[in-house]
Structure 1
Amino acid sequence: MQRVPPNEIHATLGRHILLSGLPIVLDLAESRGALARDALTGADYLDFAGFYGSNALGFRHPKLLDPETRERLLGAATIKVGNPDFYTEEYATFVATLERTAAPPTHPYYFFIEGGALAVENAMKTAMDWKVRKNLAAGRGEQGTEVLHFQRAFHGRAGYTLSVTNTDPAKTLYFPKFDWPRVPTPAARFPLVGENLERTRAAEAESIAAIEAAFDARPHRIAAILIEPIQGEGGDNHFRPEFLRELRRIADEREALLIFDEVQCGGGVTGKWWAHQHADVSPDLLCFAKKMQVGGFLASRRIDDVDNVFKVPSRISSTWGGSITDMVRATRILEIIVEDDLLENAARRGDELLRELRAIESEFPALVSNARGRGLFVAIDLPTTQQRSDLVKRCFSERLLVLACGDRSVRFRPPLTISADEVSDAARRLRRALAQLS
């Protein structure tokens, strides 16, 4: 194999691909844990970005490198199996592992596909199929394909998801979209006490009124309510449990499915397998990808009152049905999360990171506000978009990788394996970066 040397990688890719990423070259062989090695300089970067939150265990986790796991990964990687039609031990082992670890027993139906956007899109199709069949059975005709969604939502850039994604306009500009109901996002502002709490409650009331009005204006046309239990791309926007429970009530009363998009906030990052488990509310359809390695969704038995997509062949499918190599890796990752108690680690390290950010908020009151988080799903706000962008760059100069989100937020997405020392190290680097902006 003729390999491209590190000093030629950007030029090689740039001849064919729009390069808008980092100026480093990731060295997969030398990166370790939360440290990403730059092949150009040999410098290590503390990775609190995690490939947009998809890096579950960091780099080169020793349990992913043991001989048995390496052999299974290699065996799966030599051919890409069409999982919907050809069944293998690797596929079944992944499903069984998912069933006994992350999948709620209330959701017995599983669908797999590559990528979060296609996971969400197929959940939307499942809801449309369910609602239209119910309308036909009730003599209401073939209708019921609209999806109610929220402002500042990001659900992907494919097909139906273009109609519900509304963060950066560049992601959807000029592409055809459906005119589906979009309602205000009652994001909590922290600390969630006093005036912040009252404003959040008022925003919730406004949003719920808009949801009820949308159902009134479009009788029998709305198939689902779609929401991220914590919005990621749109600004790390948190919702009170009371609001998510209201969505459950409305979905039940209005004969719509409740879809939780946990592509980014699922997979253990919040200290539980799923963010919605903190609110004690259960969706009908639960979407996942990123840290789970495989995209897809889980469905509850609420869809059983029609001949749903899990009963009628070929309603939803794809050639690969998720990558079998990803399934082998995901199987071991799920096992490691349990073996090493990484949900508890995410909760503890997340508390430590949030305490650091709240201290930083008091140290830099003119720059930092709204420190917030659930487990390792953590963020802060800056006063302006420009200051936020400057901070991300300053963090990079301090060899700390972080992510922008929303209009003026910075989000942190370390791996579930992050240590207390690494949390402290990240806070030191962040303080140095902020000092340069002061």
Structure 2
Amino acid sequence: MNASEVKSTLSKYILADGIDIVWDLDRSHGSQIFDAKSQKSFLDLFSFFASQPIAFNHPKLATKEFKEKLGHFAIHRPSLSDVYTVEFAEAVDTFGRLAIRGHFDHLFFVEGGTLGVENALKVAFDWKVRKNIANGVGENGSKVIHFQKAFHGRSGYTLSLTNTADPRKHMYFPKFDWPRISSPALTFPINEASLAQVTQLEERAIHEIESALQNNPNDIAALIIEPIQAEGGDRHFRTEFLQTLRKLADDHEFLLIFDEVQTGFGLTGTMWAFEQLGVKPDLISFGKKAQVAGCASTSRVDEVEKNVFHESSRINSTWGGNLVDFMRVQKYLEIIEEDGLVQNASLIGEHIVSELRDIAESTGKISNVRGRGLMIAFDLPSTDTRNQVKQTMFNNGAMILPCGEKSLRLRPHLDFTKEDAAQALSIIKASI
């Protein structure tokens, strides 16, 4: 099939309204993604919606041995929840050693970040209800505190949590009426005025949480938050606020869940964002760059003897993840460790943020530049301007993602280079 026929062919069967390129893997290298239709390369600042940790055709991924191994195991697909393999065990062990690194005591794997969140919630529901039954207060524990501008997924329980700027992602679908809290995000640069503003917003949010706890006695199973709200606009929270959430979770016996589907796996300059925020959650959900999705829990769940990590079939799925994905993430983790790519994300990200702040100051065309590691964003004056700049950047040879009402977000690979950063900054300057 010719590349020019791809979209028309797909449109016969699906809503084919994605990015107007046809990806050519063989001709994509490093952070350059090649379009088979236009025969042009684009600087990849979106990395398949932040899901690809390593740039294209990395030499350690391109070995004959690795390709043959993946191809061999792609022929069949085992149901990993019940049938184990040596390769599966090796990959999970690598994930535990290089990604989890002693932070958590229990792991659950599934496919898709939404289901990673969904099962983290189920861990919390089970934990809270069993606690309440043991304490003689009945089968309560069915509600989740969450935040405005959050994105946690598009199915099941997560639909009751997601409420970002684009209403098409959640409107008209049935939802639970769970407590939704105002979202006290920082504005940048941080100064006396912005600190005063965010402190006031935090006080309001904490009051709302305390009211939700009072109005729903024994019924709050969890509070869930993205350490940085991604689709909601790359909105950052102060460590002090997150520490208050930790204390509330301890004092009121609910689980603190960090949704690290997008912030996790090195993007922010640490393997998990919580590692640099001075707060350890009870649970995290993961996905995207991790290739496999799921949740990880501390031993706090073991306060309940028959929690979901000990009682068979409380949480499960047919596949339990995908063996080929496990083998790929094992290789990714080895490369990330060998090449120091988490540190690279921190250093290159710091440089890009500094340069973007200089652009903001010198041109006045962008504002609110913020970032941790390579999770970077900036604001334009309006939604229309943001959309125009996004298209101009595409025309100038870079693919970038929008977020929130008027922001653009950078989501490069972890092995983004200084040369890649220089090209990105040049295209941004030329496009604003």
Shorter-chain TM-score range: over 0.9
Q: Which runs of 5+ in 1 are unaligned?
A: none
Cα displacement string for residues 313-338 of structure 1 (whole angstroms, at most 9, x for unaligned residues): 11111110011110000000011000
- Per the TM alignment, residue 201 of structure 1 is displaced from its structure 2 partner at its CA by 1.1
Q: CA deviation at 1:103?
A: 0.1
CA distance in 2, matches of 1:298, 1:24: 36
Q: Which residue of 1 aligns with 2:262?
A: 264
Distance (Å, rounded) in 2 between the aligned partners of 1:318 and 1:292: 18
Could you tell me whether the CA contact under 8 Å between 1:63 and 1:336 is conserved in 2? Answer: yes
Aligned to 1:126: 123
- Per the alignment, residue 327 of structure 1 pairs with 326
Residue 71 of structure 1 deviates from its aligned partner by 2.2
Equivalent position of 1:102 in the other structure: 99
Structure 2 unmatched ranges of 5 or more: none
Q: How far apart in 2 are the matches of 1:233 and 1:101?
A: 27
1:200-232 deviations in Å (ceiling 9; x for gaps): 111111111111111011111000010000010
SS at match of 1:320: coil
Q: Which moved more, 1:284-293 or 1:64-73?
A: 64-73
Q: Is the 8 A contact 1:119 1:296 kept in 2?
A: yes
TM-score by length of 1: 0.97
Aligned to 2:218: 220
CA RMSD of aligned residues (A): 0.8
Q: Which residue of structure 2 lines up, in the alignment, with residue 391 of structure 1?
A: 389
Q: Does 1:113 align with 2:97?
A: no
Residue in 2 that maps onto 1:360: 359
Alignment match, 1:189: 187
Q: CA deviation at 1:255?
A: 0.1
Looking at structure 1, the residues matched to 207 and 101 of structure 2 have their Cα atoms a distance apart, in angstroms, of 31
Offset, 1:275: 0.5
Q: Is the 8 A contact 1:76 1:328 kept in 2?
A: no
Report what 1:432 is aligned to. Answer: 430
Which residue is equivalent to 2:420? 422
The answer for the alignment partner of 1:84 in structure 2 is: 81
Is 1:156 the counterpart of 2:168? The answer is: no
Deviation by residue 1:137-177 (Cα, 9 ceiling, x = unmatched): 11111110101000000000010000000012111111110
The Cα shift of 1:288 comes to 0.5
Superposition TM-score, scaled by structure 2 size: 0.98
Write the deviation string for residues 76-134 of structure 1: whole angstroms up to 9, x where unpaired: 21111100000111111111101111104131111001100000000001100000000
Aligned to 2:235: 237
Inter-partner Cα distance in structure 2 for 1:304 and 1:174:
38
| Equivalent position of 1:198 in the other structure | 196
Amino acid at match of 1:218: N
- What SS does the corresponding residue of 1:191 show, helix, strand or coil? coil
The one-character-per-residue Cα deviations of 1:19-71 (angstroms, maximum 9, x if unpaired) are: 22111111111111100001012210000011111110011111111122212
Q: Partner residue of 1:70? A: 67
Looking at structure 2, the residues matched to 291 and 401 of structure 1 have their Cα atoms a distance apart, in angstroms, of 18
Aligned residue pairs total 430
Cα displacement (A) at 1:363: 2.6
- Give the counterpart letter for 1:305 in structure 2: E
Q: What's the CA shift for 1:364?
A: 2.3
- Where has structure 1 moved over 3 Å in runs of 4 or more? none
Q: Secondary structure at the match of 2:144?
A: strand
Classify the secondary structure of the residue corresponding to 2:99: coil
